[in-house]
Amino acid sequence: MDVQLTVTGLLDRAVDLFPDREIVTKRPDGSLHRYTYADAHARICRLAHALDDLGVERGERVATVAANDYRHLELYFAPPCSGRSIHMCNMRLPDEHFQYIVNDAEDRVLFVDPAFVEKVEANADAFETVERYVVLADEVPETSLDPVIAYEDLVADYPTEYDWPEVDERDECGMCYTSGTTGKPKGVAYTHRAVYLHSLMCGHVDTNGVSESDVVLPVVPMFHANGWGLPYAATLVGAKQVLPGVHTDPGSVAELIADEEVTVSAAVPTIWLEMAEYLDEHPEVDISNIDRLTVGGSAPPESLIRRYDERYDAPIIQGWGMTETTPLATLSTLRKELRDLPAEERYRYRATAGMPVPGIEVRIRDEDGEASPDASERSSGRRARDGNDVPRDGESMGDLQVRGPWVVGEYHNRPDANRESFTEDGWLRTGDIATMDEHGYVDVKDRTKDVIKSGGEWISSVELENELMAHDAVAEATVIAVDHEKWQERPLACVVLREGADASADELREHLAERFPSWWLPDAIEFLDAIPRTSTGKFNKRVLREQYDDVVLEGEREEA
Amino acid sequence: MDVQLTVTGLLDRAVDLFPDREIVTKRPDGSLHRYTYADAHARICRLAHALDDLGVERGERVATVAANDYRHLELYFAPPCSGRSIHMCNMRLPDEHFQYIVNDAEDRVLFVDPAFVEKVEANADAFETVERYVVLADEVPETSLDPVIAYEDLVADYPTEYDWPEVDERDECGMCYTSGTTGKPKGVAYTHRAVYLHSLMCGHVDTNGVSESDVVLPVVPMFHANGWGLPYAATLVGAKQVLPGVHTDPGSVAELIADEEVTVSAAVPTIWLEMAEYLDEHPEVDISNIDRLTVGGSAPPESLIRRYDERYDAPIIQGWGMTETTPLATLSTLRKELRDLPAEERYRYRATAGMPVPGIEVRIRDEDGEASPDASERSSGRRARDGNDVPRDGESMGDLQVRGPWVVGEYHNRPDANRESFTEDGWLRTGDIATMDEHGYVDVKDRTKDVIKSGGEWISSVELENELMAHDAVAEATVIAVDHEKWQERPLACVVLREGADASADELREHLAERFPSWWLPDAIEFLDAIPRTSTGKFNKRVLREQYDDVVLEGEREEA
């Protein structure tokens, strides 16, 4: 049968089989809004009728600037099910980028949470295609946005049923933009097919296994790569959903988990780190109902995984993915062979990005697809997948590339970025440097642009930085590549010492030498007062690279 | 990305991530053959090269007449991955049907297990398209088949790698025929897409949840609807597979389960019934490693489910599906709301066909899509899905219809059957009569052609038969519809008494009256010496219907 894989199919199943399951939202005032999938469906239908009357055509986009709440969830469905697309805006972008994405996506209607009205007001003059604003509230607050209407007024008078149109599974259902740390954000359009398959995979027992019996709380913003796909995956299985609204502080999250009997949640490591601290101070909050916590965005420290195991019996599972991968691509569940390993080794595996989930292929490539100078030597006795794959030894680093039915094949309006980001044989270059081991576990070591390419071997700036910052005297550290006349590139470390602490360059090199081969050790260590940062608070390596642009190191590196 | 969902993708994943996982086969002589996915892959590649040299073109079919073993598994992959199709023949069909399906599928090469060479020999003269026979063995036995070659000779000299062609996910990868209890068997062609999606679904935590950590033993023949999809689902996740070969007796199955640490198995209820008896006699055989057993084909008695729970802690999960549905469509796992019910009620739910799995839609329709005479009354206070759906009350019976991306949309070469079996809006008429309850559980009550349509209400022949056979004096019973001048149809029961036992028609009617409303009770009970049977041993209702064709009952039925 030619049955299309669509977002409508996800919604239909929840309403058909689980109409009475709850969707709970924490309102701005802290009270809880509760309704069912049947209630949500009725309002989704109303919203679709309203989009008809607003003149949003098939294939056009509406934008959301919204928190994780039930109205945002309705917007996850009404536009796609009625043949349109939802563009989930990341309101944390700098104004210039925010304006760019709304114009690039040609958003016709912008739905904005009261909490973010000010941000939208500050940019509205620059929006070229937005014709109308809808505030996600009962009433419109004081605002300069114009024309503007309250969401509840918009949807009030429409029928609670809608005859969904046939959509092709390859039609766009949604769009997110990459956060664009370098250059303009890049638009990623999701198809119905990608979202459906990703949702089915999220219920797979070898992945996150989202079940009808789960209670799912996405702390990760719904504007980050479909809320990591959780709202859609939860709907396919009819799971109860709990949405924190603007209350993503650790106390609120912990209490929601306890009160609503949440079994699955997902967030960046910082959230779980802060929540652990909150729980230490509030032993009366019992989160024992939690069954598993997914983390992504950056790798969780092993200590955090241990802490949740030991104190809360709540395994932290690391996932890796990107906006471009819908987003789940790998997950650090333990395969059968590894479950009886000593705890140390199990934690080491669980702190990696994990194995490719069913549906996703991963390969780790030598630089530019060329065998690196030492590749033949490194491959000896180990199996390389083909001439351009690095050995699966957990040590050999290469470009992490992925492929799969929920990996996008191009960026919106960006032929330049497409040429850079997709290989000729159809794989996405993730921009990450990683290793893979014999069991298929991927460990992300660096960003491609940050790795130090020294004499055909790669040195991870991230690993050196982490080890430097593990030294008691070091407050901050970052490592960049500088040119070297013989080795092409060598590492240079920039270190900020803790107030009152002291450490010499030699002492820090000795500290690093305990863990890394001598040829990894930075040739130079610069002591700075502060490391320059980007607008989002990350170390700004670009500025440092420009600063040390004229440095050319010479002399021998120490051989391993 | 335009990544196609293909059988090649299933195989690639196993070989890439789980090359060392085992596939174990019990050989005809009782010894075990062991190899890995990597070994299997090498031989699959060899076989694909051999098919090239045999001149089997893309899109053409090869046939298997084979047991569940590693060579059959290789045939599950080599033809589809190289752009051809595997037709898995049911060698239990009568000769006439066996000849028909091989000719209808236009099979070019026929792969036959030594155990079934005789059956093939008896039919070979009638095969119109078969050009060559391959015996699945090291050497060719004495045979009249010609030309013939041993499988091991066929694949011996080819390379162990193959550059798989791009295939479209909507291309055919395999074919099975319905067993055709009435008329000719009907050919069901599976697409790569259907098999891939079915495999992904089989790993879903709300279905059978086939995991990389499972050890999977399909007792169900691999020629029955893709072995219920298990060999493909197991390959996607890289699970160890255990194949019983020709040894499907209860002792062999129990010992394989124990010795190979099987966690998941699947078979018709008879197998598990017989295995329970074997285990009672052989308490030394420990099957405690079993995690779950799937049954299908016919509904398991509640007592069997209880027995496996109580004695072996091995939950039996009933699945329902058809050759046309790849096959899994519903599964009787317990949804959250039902897990705390009293045991009686839980067993009642587990003995149903269960809920639609993710991806499958089910509807139960009034006869011919028309509201039945009493529908408006029956619907009062309950929700009907639309005018033609019966209420979801667990009582109202109707035509079971299904729809989904792994439900076929037509039969091979059978426009006549297509008109009968598919609705105008694209659903498969399953030919079953079922109820659905408020939780979405489907209970199959009868075959459409066997249900008794009495005054706008339906009476299940199957339920009456089961209850009659539960009477101590009854050995066999079957119930058919006969014409009635007022009520259109009324039930007539044909009963065979146990040797030496006695029971009057009134006594049996009183027995039925304890469980069913009075208007369900058969108007006539005929005592026979034997009930005519079909070639596969089922009661032959067609013969009985012809025998009682001229009976027209009259008089009042008793009102409820």
Q: Return the domain boundaries, chain A.
A: 7-317, 361-403+414-448, 452-553
Please state, in angstroms and rounded to a whole number, the distance separating the CA atoms of residues A522 and A528.
Answer: 16
The two tokens of residue A519 are 């040829």
pLDDT digits (tens, 9 = 90+) for B371-423: 444 443 333 333 345 558 999 999 999 999 999 999 999 999 999 999 999 99
How high is the pLDDT of residue A556? 61
Q: Is B78 on the interface with A (CB under 8 A)?
A: no
Tell me if A361 and B197 make a contact (CB, 8 A cut-off). Answer: no
- What the block records as the tokens of B537 is 């041993």
User: In Å, how far are A88, A147, A222, A412, B300 from A109, measured between CA atoms?
Assistant: 12, 10, 18, 19, 55
Interface ipTM: 0.90
Q: List pLDDT tens digits, range B107-166.
A: 999 999 999 999 999 999 999 999 999 999 999 999 999 999 999 999 999 999 999 999
Answer for the pair B46, B155: CB distance below 8 angstroms, yes or no.
yes
Residue of B460, B21, B527 lying closest to B237 (CA atoms): B21
Res B557: pLDDT: 57
For the four alpha carbons of B73, A3, B4 and B216, in that order, the dihedral sign comes to negative
Distance CA B407, CA B428 (A): 8
Sign of CA dihedral B276, B280, B284, B288: positive
Mean pLDDT of A178-184: 73
A381: CB partners within 8 A, 6+ apart: none
The C-alpha angle with vertex A538 and arms to A534 and A544, in degrees rounded to 5, equals 65
Q: Looking at residue B535, what is its pLDDT? A: 65
CA–chain centroid gap for A549, Å, is 32
CA distance B461 to B454: 12
Q: Please indicate whether the domains covering A7-317 and A452-553 agree at the CATH topology level.
A: no
Nearest residue on chain A to B438, alpha-carbon basis: A17
For tokens 């299997």, the residue is B40
Higher-confidence residue of B446 and B13: namely B13
Q: Is the pLDDT of residue A197 over 90?
A: yes
Please provide the DSSP assignment of B493-555 as one string: EEEEEPTT----HHHHHHHHHTTS-GGGS-SEEEE-S---B-TTS-B-HHHHHHHTTT-EE-S
Kindly indicate the confidence band of residue A535, based on its pLDDT and cuts at 50, 70 and 90. Answer: low
Q: How many CA atoms lie within 13 A of B480 on its CB side?
A: 21
B7-317 adopts what CATH topology?
Rossmann fold (3.40.50)
User: Distance (Å, rounded) from C-alpha A105 to C-alpha B77?
Assistant: 43
Instruction: Give the residue from chain B lying closest to A334, CA to CA.
Output: B213
Show residues of chain B in contact with A200, CB under 8 Å: 197, 200-201, 204, 358-359
Q: Which of residues 421-440 of B touch A (CB under 8 A)?
A: 426, 428, 439-440
Task: Show which residues of A are catalytic.
Answer: 178, 324, 453, 458
Q: Which of B5, B206, B339, B364 is the mutation pick for testing A, counting most A CBs within 10 A?
A: B206
DSSP for B411-464 reads -BT-HHHHHHHB-TTS-EEEEEEEEE-TT--EEEEEETTT-EEETTEEE-HHHH
Contact A335 B213 (CB under 8 A): yes
- For domain A361-403+414-448, which CATH number applies: 3.20.20.70, 3.90.420.10, 1.20.1260.10, 2.30.38.10? 2.30.38.10
β-partners of residue A149 are: A134
pLDDT of residue B430: 95
B-chain residues near A17 (CB < 8 A): 355-356, 439-440
Residue A494: beta bridge partners? A478, A526
Rg of chain B taking only CA atoms, in angstroms: 24
Say whether pLDDT at B87 is over 50: yes
Nearest to A461 by CA among A391, A531, A389, A554: A531
Q: What is the pLDDT of residue A272?
A: 93
pLDDT at B462 over 90: no
Identify the pLDDT of residue A558.
54
- Smallest CA-to-CA distance from A278 within A262, A255, A260, A296 is with A255
Contact B203 A358 (CB under 8 A): yes
Handedness of CA A313, A314, A318, A319 (dihedral sign): positive
- Per DSSP, A301 falls in state P
Contacting residues of A for B403, CB less than 8 Å apart: 1, 3
Which one is predicted more confidently, A290 or B1?
A290
Global pTM reads 0.90
With 0-12 CB in 10 A as exposed, 13-18 as middle and 19+ as buried, what is A328? buried
A402: exposed, middle or buried (C-beta count within 10 Å: 0-12, 13-18, 19+)?
A: buried
Is the pLDDT at B218 greater than 70? The verdict is yes
Q: What is the pLDDT of residue A367?
A: 64
* B239 vs A contacts (CB less than 8 Å): none
- In whole angstroms, how large is the CA radius of gyration of chain A? 25
Q: Which helix (H) or strand (E) holds B277?
A: helix B269-281
Q: Which residue from B211, B339, B439 is facing A205, i.e. has the nearest CB?
A: B211
Measured distance CA(A113)–CA(A5) in Å, rounded: 30
Preferred mutation among A11, A206, A339, A360 to probe B, highest tally of B CBs within 10 A: A206
The residue-averaged pLDDT of A372-382 equals 37
Q: What is the pLDDT of residue A74?
A: 98
Asked if A515 is an interface residue toward chain B (Cβ–Cβ < 8 A), one would say no
CATH of span B452-553: 3.30.300.30
Which residue in the set A3, A200, A355 is minimally distant from B358, CB to CB? A200
Compute the mean pLDDT over every residue in chain A, rounded to the nearest whole number.
Answer: 92
Q: What is the pLDDT of residue A384?
A: 40
Query: What pLDDT, on a 0 to 100 scale, did the predictor assign at position B449?
Result: 85
CA–CA separation, B532 and B534 (whole Å): 7
**CB–CB of B316/B305 below 8 Å?**
yes
Higher pLDDT, B463 or B141: B141
More confident residue, A94 or A161: A161
Chain B interface, mutation test: which of A198, A205, A208, A402, most B Cβ atoms within 10 Å? A205
* Burial B195-229, CB ≥16 within 10 A → b, else e: bbbbbbbbbbbbbbbbbbbbbbbbbbbbbbbbbbb
| Arithmetic mean of pLDDT over chain B | 92
Nearest residue in chain B measured CA to CA from A197: B197
Q: What is the set of active-site residues of B?
A: 178, 324, 453, 458
Using the Cβ of B205 and the Cβ atoms of chain A, whether some distance falls under 8 Å is answered with yes
Mean pLDDT of A176-183: 77
Q: CA angle, A216 as apex, A210 and A222 as ends, to 5°? A: 105
Measured between CA atoms, the residue of chain A closest to residue B325 is A1
The predicted pLDDT at position A497 comes to 94
Helices (H), A65-206: 70-81, 95-105, 117-121, 151-155, 192-202
Residue A322: its H or E element: none
**pLDDT of A552:** 73
Per-residue buried b or exposed e for B270-300, using 16+ beta carbons within 10 Å of the residue's own CB = ebbbbbbebbeeeeeeebeebbbbbbbbebb
Question: Given the structure tokens 């009782």, which residue do they identify?
Answer: B30
Nearest 5°: the CA angle B232, B193, B316 is 40
Containing H/E element for B305? Answer: helix B302-312
pLDDT of residue A464: 92
Per-residue model confidence (pLDDT) at position A382: 30
Evaluate if residue A12 carries a pLDDT over 90. Answer: yes
pLDDT at B560: 42
b/e per residue B302-323 (b: at least 16 CB within 10 A):
eebbebbbeebebbbbbbbbbb
Interface probe, candidates A204, A215, A383, A442, chain B, greatest B C-beta count within 10 A: A204
Chain B residue nearest residue A442, CA to CA = B17
Taking contacts as CB-CB distances below 8 angstroms, the residues of chain B near A335 are 212-213
Residue B200: pLDDT above 70? yes
The nearest alpha carbon in chain A to B16 belongs to A440
Q: Is the pLDDT of residue B506 over 80?
A: yes
Tell me, what DSSP letter sits at residue B273? Answer: H
Looking at residue A183, what is its pLDDT?
75
pLDDT at residue B240, as a whole number:
98
pLDDT, tens digit, for every residue of A249-288? 999 999 999 999 999 999 998 899 899 999 999 999 999 9
From chain A, pick out residues whose CB is under 8 angstroms from the CB of B237.
Answer: 206, 358
Q: A274: which 2 tokens?
A: 């802060």
Please tell me the predicted confidence (pLDDT) of residue B371.
41
- How far apart, in whole angstroms, are the C-alpha atoms of residue A274 and residue B37? 44
pLDDT at B532: 87
Q: Classify residue B85 by its DSSP letter.
A: E
Asked if B102 and B119 count as a contact pair (C-beta separation under 8 A), the reply is: no
pLDDT bracket for residue A373 (50, 70, 90): very low
* Residue contact B356–A17, C-beta within 8 A: yes
Residue given tokens 């046309």 in the structure block: B324
Region B468-488: mean pLDDT is 90
Q: What is the DSSP letter of A422?
A: B
| Positive/negative CA dihedral, B329, B332, B336, B338 | positive
Name the packing angle between helices A7-17 and A192-202 (round to 10°): 50
Handedness of CA A256, A262, A265, A271 (dihedral sign): positive
Task: For A142-173, give the DSSP string.
Answer: S---SSEEEHHHHHTTS-S---PPP--TTSEE
Please tell me if residue B55 touches chain A, with a CB cutoff of 8 Å: no
Contact in structure between B362 and B210 (CB atoms under 8 Å): no
Q: Which residue of B7, B168, B197, B204 to mutate against A (max A Cβ within 10 Å)?
A: B204
**A287 inside 8 A of chain B by CB:** no
Return the higher-pLDDT residue of A15 and B554: A15
Asked if A358 lies within 8 A of B405 by C-beta distance, the reply is no
pLDDT grade, residue A370 (50/70/90)?
Answer: very low
Which residues on A lie below 8 Å from B11 (Cβ)? none
| Residue B523, pLDDT score | 92
Contacts 24+ apart (CB under 8 A), B547-552: B548/B480, B548/B482, B548/B492, B551/B482, B551/B483, B551/B492, B551/B524, B552/B482, B552/B483, B552/B484, B552/B485
Given CB atoms, is B91 within the 8 Å cutoff of chain A? no
Which positions in chain B touch A1 (Cβ < 8 Å)?
403-405, 407-409, 426, 428
Nearest to B540 by CA among B182, B95, B94: B182
Q: Which of A5, A203, A409 sits opposite B206 (nearest CB)?
A: A203
Contact A539, A533 (CB under 8 A): yes
Domain B361-403+414-447 top-level CATH class: mainly beta
Distance of alpha carbon B554 from its chain centroid, rounded? 40
